[in-house]
Chain A
C-alpha cells in the first residue's frame, strides 16, 4: 500500500525525465550527482549544497516548458521525485557518513537495548489509560521501517505515521477512558517509550539525514513538529539517567548493570569473580530458555572450560587450583545469569499483569522477595 502511494508520483517524475525535452534538467541532475560524489564528505556543507541544488532545480522546473501547464501539486510531485532520485543516488555518500555518526548510532542503540530489559511505562509516569500494547506495537512497527527507505521524505513519513498512531491512541483514550487530554504531556512520554521498545536502526543518522536533506520548504508545520519530537526523544534517551525516570537510583544502576551483563556473557572469556559480591545468593531459576542458550554458547565456545572432556582418572593434584578457579567462575556467572533472568521474567509478568489490570499477588510476592534478597 505504502509503495503505491510512494512510487506513482516518482514514476511519473522518471517518465517526464525520459522525455527528450527535459534533457537539460537530466544533465544538471547527473552532473550534480557526479560532482557531489567526487568531493569528500563534509557534514558542515553537504546539507547546504544539496539544499541549494534543490532550490536551483525547483526554479528550473517551475520555468520549464514541460511543466508550464502543471498544477502546483504536479510541480511538487516533480520536486519530491527529484529529492528521492538525488538522495537515493547519494545515499551511501550522505547517510551515516562520518565515524562520529556511526559511533552515536551505536551508543544509542546499545543504551536502548539496556533500557529495554527493565523500563516500564510507570518509569515515565505514563497513565494507565494510555498503556495500550497493541497501539504501541503498531507505532513501533512504523518507526522500525525507517531504514526500508532511502529518501528523506519516506523516512520522515515513518516518523509521522508513528506519531499518528500515538495521537490516535491519545484520542481514543480521551473518548473511551475519559482521560483528560494532555497534549504533549501525554504524547512525548509515549513516543519515548515506543522509541525505546522499537530501538529503530541508526536513529541518530536517520534524524540527521532528514534534517539535512529533506527539502527545507517541507520541514515545517506538523512534519517539523513530529520530527522535533523524535529528536527530542533521542536526546532524552542519550542523556537518560536515574533522575530522568521515576525509579530509585539504586534500582536503576542495578538494572543497567544486570542488562550489561546479559549483553556481555556470550563473549565473556574469563573471570567475573570480582563481581561475585554484587549478586545475591545462588538460587534456582528453574528451566529457562535464555539460560540454556547462553550456557550452550559458552560450552561450545570450547577452550574456556578445558576440563569438559576430561575423565576423573586423568586429573592430577596440580589441576586442583585451576579447577577450583574455573568452578568459581562458572558459579559466579551462573548466579548472575539467574538473577538477571529472574529480573527479566519478573518485569515481564508484572507488565503483563498491569496491562490486564489484575494485580497478581504471587508475582508481587516474588518481586518483593527479590528486592529483599538484593538489598
Chain B
C-alpha cells in the first residue's frame, strides 16, 4: 500500500501533488512568489507564528497544516498584487545549526525569531543576522521578530533592544504573539510591502 493513501484526506485543500504545487501562470509583477526562511532557537515559536498566519488567513477550523514544516500562503495587498509566501521552517536546535545554509540558499526573505522571555534566544537571533549578512542571498529582506509578547510579566529582552538592533542592521522589527495572534498578519504584510518588485516588462 502506498503511503499517500494512508494519509487522512485533510490535505485535499492543499497542493495535491508535485504537478499542482506551482502556480501554473508562474510569478509575474502582479503575483509574486517568494521563499521565506524561518530561523531561530527551538522553542521560540517559529512554527506557531506560521500556523497562526496560515490558519488565520484561511479557514480557522482547518487542521490541514498543523505540525507541518513547509507551508505556503498567499496574501493580497491593497495595490491588488498578491504575494505567495513559501515558508521554509528550520530546526532550531543547536546540533542542526550547520545545516542552515542549505535552507536559506535562494531565500528572498528571512524571518529571524526570538522569544522576549529568553535573552539566549535574542543572542542566537543576532548570530543568524550576522550569518545571513555574510552568506544570505544579496538583497534578502530580513525581519527580526520578538515572539511571545503576551508574556509581558516574564519579559527579559526590552523592546528597545530589539528596535535598536534591527535599526542598526537595516531590518524590519516587530513583536508578535502567536498565542493571541497579535501582529501576526502585520508581520507578513510588512514583509510583502518591502519585497522588491520585478520591473514591468
Which of B48-72 touch A at CB < 8 Å?
48, 50-51, 63, 66-70, 72
Is B13 interfacial (CB-CB < 8 Å)?
no
In the bound assembly, the distance between CA atoms of A139 and B6 in angstroms comes to 11
Contact B91 A189 (CB under 8 A): yes
Contact B22 A183 (CB under 8 A): no
B101 to nearest A CB, angstroms? 10
B51 to nearest A CB, angstroms? 6
Is A161 interfacial (CB-CB < 8 Å)?
yes
The digit string for B125-151, where 1 denotes a CB below 8 A from any CB of A, is 000000000000000000000000000
Is A100 interfacial (CB-CB < 8 Å)?
no
Count A interface residues, CB 8 Å: 54
Closest to A218 in B: B18
Closest 8 CB pairs of A and B: A183-B47, A170-B67, A184-B89, A188-B91, A184-B69, A183-B89, A187-B69, A225-B70
Contact A76 B47 (CB under 8 A): no
What chain B residues lie within 8 Å of A170 (beta carbons)? 66-68
Is A8 interfacial (CB-CB < 8 Å)?
no
Contact A221 B91 (CB under 8 A): no
What chain B residues lie within 8 Å of A72 (beta carbons)? 24
Which of A109-147 touch B at CB < 8 Å?
125, 138-139, 141-142
Is A73 interfacial (CB-CB < 8 Å)?
yes
Majority secondary structure, A binding face: helix
Is B78 interfacial (CB-CB < 8 Å)?
no
Contact B68 A167 (CB under 8 A): yes
Is A310 interfacial (CB-CB < 8 Å)?
no
Stretch at the interface among B92-100, B157-165, B167-175, B183-191: B92-100
Residue of A171, A183, A218, A239 with most partner-chain B CB within 10 A: A183
What chain B residues lie within 8 Å of A125 (beta carbons)? 93
Is B117 interfacial (CB-CB < 8 Å)?
no
Is B80 interfacial (CB-CB < 8 Å)?
no
B115 to nearest A CB, angstroms? 13
What chain A residues lie within 8 Å of B93 (beta carbons)? 125, 185, 189
B70 to nearest A CB, angstroms? 4
With A164-B3, A171-B67, A223-B18 known as contacts, the answer to whether A185 contacts B99 (CB < 8 A) is no
**Given contact pairs A181-B47, A184-B91, a sample of 13 additional A-B residue pairs in the complex whose CB atoms are under 8 Å apart:** A141-B3, A165-B6, A170-B67, A174-B66, A175-B63, A181-B66, A182-B67, A185-B91, A221-B22, A223-B21, A228-B88, A228-B102, A235-B102
